[in-house]
Structure 1
Amino acid sequence: MVLVAMTVAVAGPPAHADPVTGPPGSVVEVGQLDPAAMLPGAAEGYRVVYRTTDHHGAGRLSSGAVYVPPGPVPDRGWPVVSYAHGTIGLADGCEPSTVGGLAEEGAYMDRWLRRGYAVVATDYAGLGTPGELAYLDGVAAGHGVVDMVRAGRAAMPELSPRWVVAGLSQGGHAALHTAHLATSYAPELDYRGAVSLAPPTNLEQVFPFAGPGVPNFGVAGLTKFTLFTMVGLADARPDLDIPSRLSPRGRELATLATQVCTVEVGRRIGKMQVGELFSRPIDDLRPALADYIGVPTFGYDRPVLIGQGAVDLVVPMPLTLLFAQQLASANTRFDLRLYPSADHIGVLAASFDDAAAVVDGLVS
């Protein structure tokens, strides 16, 4: 494999004064992955720090991992799966390219490697790099996913410009946004399609009801995901004064969310209901939330495969069915696959063979 020597440095946040100056997808640093973040099916693995842009086009730094399968490089280079991970937290030190991610997500990426795809996997800007992670900011995440492909190819020219995006949960949301902007944002690449698993959609309709006294309605993790969204929105839109809308306990947890990973945040939340995060209603945030987390229902110019587990309690199936109905009403072409026995994480394994068959056809 050829690693571009001019980009080699010790992996980690850059130290020079203005690292975000430069084109999106350009590499700031690249180095070997820590063994904790390596995948068993990878012949090589690298951690990169690269430039990307936020929701409004301002420069940010992100990091991520590049994995290359074993064997000779195909004549047209390794086709690329750009993977967008699910929720692991907002704090530095949680980023998968440093500490590894969810085991099931690692196994999923490994299956793509063993099928002959290179895998690039963003951490998202602000997770292990300067600034806050804009949790569920779809446009920012989409930029980061696309720019991860650019960065991977800049570091390793053996990667093909042919690529698809795949993601779970938070990453499924990111995959849809990536699918919506990929060809216009990076016309020099050859984007072929998207695999979006358990994507949270229509949350801009749900979250505004999360004022004082509102329960979780049986949605697993709703308090945590709402908290993370409020933290991200507070950073993206300081004019909204999100902290003033939070209860004392909500403000305490918002601070904690930027210091520890998702498992510890969930432990500290315990059985707390979403309404306990707030001191007053937030229904006036609906327009801001629509801009921040809303998922487009039209404008997709490449195939979109959506996978949903029927027993998912984190992203309940009715939300995904509603989104599918909205896509259909907008005359958007898509492929929805339902998996009767799959839960939120289980949809990764349940959907893989279907996704692989679709993706193989798209990149051939």
Structure 2
Amino acid sequence: MGTDTIITRSSLTRTRNKLRSGTVTLGFIGGSITEDGRSAHNWPEPVTRWFAETFPRTRIVVENAAIGATGSDLALFRAERDLIERHCDLIFVEFAVNDYLTASEPRMRAREGLLRKLLADGRSELVLVYTYSQRMYEAMSRKEVPDSIAEFEQLAGHYGISSVWAGRHAWEEVVKGRMTWDEWLPDGLHPTHRGSLSYGQCVIALLERELTAAPQAAALHAAPLHAASLHAASPDADTDADASNPPVRALPQALNPHHWERTELVPFEEVQLEGPWTIRRAVALMPRVDRLLSTSAIGATLSFSFSGRGLVLVFDFGKKSAEFVYRLDGGEAVAVSRDRPDWCKDGGWLRPYWIADELPEGRHHIELEVVHGNREDCRGTDFHLGIIGILK
């Protein structure tokens, strides 16, 4: 494995101490490449098995919060429930692929907000994992770092977070003839068992270096992804001078002052409804949200007020989903018309829709009406709202 696939910026001291204590909780968040699907072959699986094999006297708890076709922006509103409240000790973050088509400014605001949120209480250590999609091909074939990864590296260097370019490791395995392209990812995105094992082995290489090798030797192995493009290892990386937990350090000043760390959710009970609405448990339909605010009636309306600079609505979305028209603060009506890709099913895609992200300070009000949408690819009028998120 090329040493340019791993950058060590933190010695994972807290994780080592938790392993010694007898229990460690691993957290994973990302897209379909990371989620814990029925096939159970994505890269977190070999990583988890490595922990169980290497530390047989330690209880390994796994909290896989990854969801396919979602990015850092949605992760912001799930981080507390799915990772922080579950007391994760080591969290692997994988969003370089799913954030790829998001514009640089909003994705950097979302990513920095997510990392700050996860680091805020000092309990969790993080590792950034970069996988691969075919959109990265041109940059990587020129031995360049794709923008989505390079931007993540800016944050990793600033916050002292170790990173693993697993996609680069798999690419090199193909180049060396150890793995064929179709053994890696025949659809250009989702790895097979062999491809996932390649990703996992790259992550395991970092873990072996930091959790089982001599701590004083760990720093000698650190190497940049691309010397001309990326930050070097952080001079403030933790050391393992003793077995006690190091003191919690205050987070550095944010790179982007407009980052999205502060968020809150609007309870459905605070929403005013007109028409046939229901609030129902979503475990069978959408396991990553507790409840859905639902209707299938064209003309049904909802409204609520909030304080914040941004508003996002997160839906159980698919080809049977209704569209909607909304007015924000009494302004002009905005008719929403979302695309429905071929891979999109009738429902089950947890999809955010951003109403606004740069509102003036103060109180705001939104009114929304359910409509069919009059689209050829819209086969129903299901309106399933899972999250009402506010940026503070």
Classify the TM-score, shorter chain.
under 0.3
Q: Which has the larger radius of gyration?
A: 2
Report 1 or 2 for greater relative contact order, CA contacts < 8 Å, sequence distance ≥ 6.
Answer: 2
TM-score using structure 1 length: 0.26
Answer 1 or 2: which has greater strand percent.
Answer: 2
TM-score using structure 2 length: 0.25
